């Protein structure tokens, strides 16, 4: 369980660490010691799963959790899963350190096959989420219903330079995404030949 963690996120009070593991598609919650900052035993985990796709064995044959991030209220944990073309949304219980929700919940935002959601960032207002899709080159804008945690697609644009196409082999596509503190700009990085 939890093979090759590739991303971690801490709660504002520093009590919990949430991690995403790329190779087995899991997200997990770990208590943080107030004495020395060490992580205790995992209190909860979720393993994303989907239909095995041998034709996509280069990057999307199975779940690949790439990032887990909490919304500003720390009520919702959003997980970018590159392998399953989905942003999963779990309720977060900060008292018990647990993730709540089924893998087939309508809260999750399913993206077109081959999108490969890699990272996301919230708008400072908390109303919108920007998702960078590594394999399609798209930047997706979605709204977050703070009461239900449901994500709804608003728009999608290509972030790669004109004339440049994504390529799964040499990993040419989108990489990271950030939103300016004033919420006026979204910055997306791409990996290209130069």
Ranges of each domain in the chain? 5-191
- Look at strands 128-133 and 117-122 and give their pairing: antiparallel
pLDDT tens-digit map of 67-107: 999 999 999 999 999 999 999 999 999 999 999 999 889 99
pLDDT tens-digit map of 171-180: 678 889 999 9
Q: What is the pTM of this model?
A: 0.92
For the chain, helix, strand, coil in percent to 5 are: 0, 45, 50
**Options 2.60.40.420, 2.130.10.10, 1.10.287.130, 3.30.2080.10; which CATH number does 5-191 get?**
2.130.10.10
**DSSP string computed for 2-32:** --SEEEEEE-TTSSEEEEEETTTTEEEEEEB
For residue 5, which of 19, 62, 98, 60 has the smallest C-alpha distance? Answer: 19
């Amino acid at each position: 369980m939890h093979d090759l963690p590739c991303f971690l996120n801490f709660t504002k009070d520093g009590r919990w660490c949430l991690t995403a593991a790329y190779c087995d598609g899991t997200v997990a919650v770990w208590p943080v010691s107030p004495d020395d900052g060490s992580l205790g035993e995992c209190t909860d985990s979720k393993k994303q799963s989907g239909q095995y796709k041998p034709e996509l064995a280069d990057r999307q044959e199975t779940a690949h959790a790439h990032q887990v991030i909490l919304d500003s209220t720390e009520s919702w944990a959003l997980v970018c899963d590159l392998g399953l073309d989905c942003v999963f949304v779990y309720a977060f219980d900060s008292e018990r350190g647990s993730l709540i929700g089924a893998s087939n919940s309508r809260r999750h935002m399913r993206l077109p096959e081959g999108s490969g959601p890699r990272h996301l960032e919230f708008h400072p207002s908390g109303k919108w989420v920007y998702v960078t899709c590594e394999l399609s080159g798209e930047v997706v804008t979605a709204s977050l219903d703070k009461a239900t945690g449901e994500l709804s697609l608003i728009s999608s644009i290509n972030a790669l330079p004109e004339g440049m196409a994504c390529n799964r082999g040499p990993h040419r596509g989108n990489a990271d995404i950030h939103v300016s503190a004033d919420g006026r700009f979204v910055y997306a990085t791409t990996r290209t030949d130069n």
